[in-house]
């Protein structure tokens, strides 16, 4: 909207704060997505091959949690930097076309459409589980799956539909391709959401005095707010950290010392 000149008021991107990315996306989505999949399927994740599409904050959290549960984790990516990060963390990195025949569970967390498409669905093994936790119900091509199926068994378990393909293979779609952590589980725990809501509340309070100086554009949350939310969370967890000494402050802000 900014690029097209149609945004008429300032917007603050609370969703892009460091605390939200870390706690809400990485730890919240990482846990609640697997919670939803297990509730919907009661499948054992240990020993399974879990294919995660996207290695952003959500994908990273999912990969960490899945590996901790004993799964073999495959990452698919379009970003070479994120793909390199995944590879250096020891995850297998492949195109979706290479991963499709081998995955037991597929989880999309990209924010884009057609991440799992008809070509991928045609290669998947019998019993593969499909879940989305990244965006609207467009990451998995549900329409293509509908068209490929000769029978659909709705509600084989709560939030689980079984699609029977012409060759007899069965693919299980969770939550109709919608956000599985919300539809099949309870979303993030309160201990995660308190940080996201704190970011929002403190940003709203800041806007009361700052809004007059803000142009119609997308603005970052002030770093001070992000830091304050992290400090408050640490205090609630009874975690203490160090503080810089005056000499350390001087050192960090001087180019003369150590030159």
Q: Hey, where are the domains in the chain?
A: 20-183, 188-252
Measuring CA to CA, which residue among 195, 231, 239 is closest to residue 25? 195
Q: How far is CA 112 from the centre of its chain?
A: 12
Q: Give pLDDT, residue 32.
A: 97
Q: Is the pLDDT of residue 139 over 90?
A: yes
Question: Is the per-residue pLDDT at 257 higher than 90?
Answer: no
Question: Over the chain, what is the mean pLDDT?
Answer: 96
What is the reported pLDDT for 111?
Answer: 94
- Whether 247 shows a pLDDT value over 70: the answer reads yes
Separation CA 89–CA 192 (nearest Å): 25
In angstroms, the Cα distances linking 108 to 129, 180, 222 are 11, 10, 31
Query: Domain 20-183 in CATH: superfamily?
Result: NAD(P)-binding Rossmann-like Domain (3.40.50.720)
Residue 85 scores a pLDDT above 70: yes
pLDDT at 6: 96
Q: Band of the pLDDT at 259, cuts 50, 70, 90?
A: low
At residue 135, does pLDDT exceed 90? no
Average pLDDT value for residue range 174-196: 95
Provide the pLDDT confidence category of residue 160 given band limits of 50, 70 and 90.
very high
Residue 102 has pLDDT above 70, yes or no: yes
pLDDT exceeds cutoff 80 at 258: no
Determine the pLDDT at residue 255.
Answer: 87
> Taking the model in full, what pTM does it have?
0.92
Is the confidence at residue 222, as pLDDT, over 70? yes
Which has more confidence, 209 or 120? 120
Give the pLDDT mean for 131-146: 96
Instruction: Read off the pLDDT of each residue in 74-85 and give the average, rounded to a whole number.
Output: 98
What per-residue confidence (pLDDT) applies to 212? Answer: 87
For residue 155, pLDDT over 80 is answered with yes
Give φ, ψ of 93 to 5 degrees. Answer: -120, 125
Q: What angle do CA 70, 55, 21 make, to 5 degrees?
A: 105
């Amino acid at each position: 909207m900014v690029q097209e000149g149609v945004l008429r008021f300032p917007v603050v991107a609370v969703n892009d704060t460091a605390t939200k990315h870390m706690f809400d996306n990485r730890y919240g989505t990482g846990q609640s997505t697997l919670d939803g999949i297990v509730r919907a399927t009661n499948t054992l994740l240990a020993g399974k091959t879990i294919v995660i599409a996207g290695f952003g904050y959500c994908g990273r959290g999912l990969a960490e949690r899945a590996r901790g549960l004993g799964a073999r984790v495959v990452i698919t990516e379009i970003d070479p930097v994120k793909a390199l990060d995944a590879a250096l963390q020891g995850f297998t990195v492949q195109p979706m076309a290479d991963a499709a025949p081998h995955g037991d569970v597929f989880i999309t967390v990209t924010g884009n459409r057609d991440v799992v498409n008809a070509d991928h669905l045609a290669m998947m093994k019998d019993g593969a589980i499909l879940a989305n936790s990244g965006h609207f119900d467009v990451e998995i091509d549900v329409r293509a799956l509908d068209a490929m199926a000769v029978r659909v068994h709705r509600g084989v378990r709560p939030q689980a539909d079984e699609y029977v393909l012409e060759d007899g293979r069965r693919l299980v779609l969770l939550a109709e391709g919608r956000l599985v952590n919300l539809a099949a589980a309870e979303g993030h725990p309160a201990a995660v959401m308190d940080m996201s809501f704190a970011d929002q509340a403190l940003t709203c309070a800041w806007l009361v005095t700052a809004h007059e100086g803000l142009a119609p554009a997308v603005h970052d949350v002030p770093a001070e707010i992000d830091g304050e939310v992290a400090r408050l969370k640490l205090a609630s967890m009874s975690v203490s950290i160090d503080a810089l000494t005056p000499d350390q402050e001087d050192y960090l802000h001087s180019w003369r010392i150590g030159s």
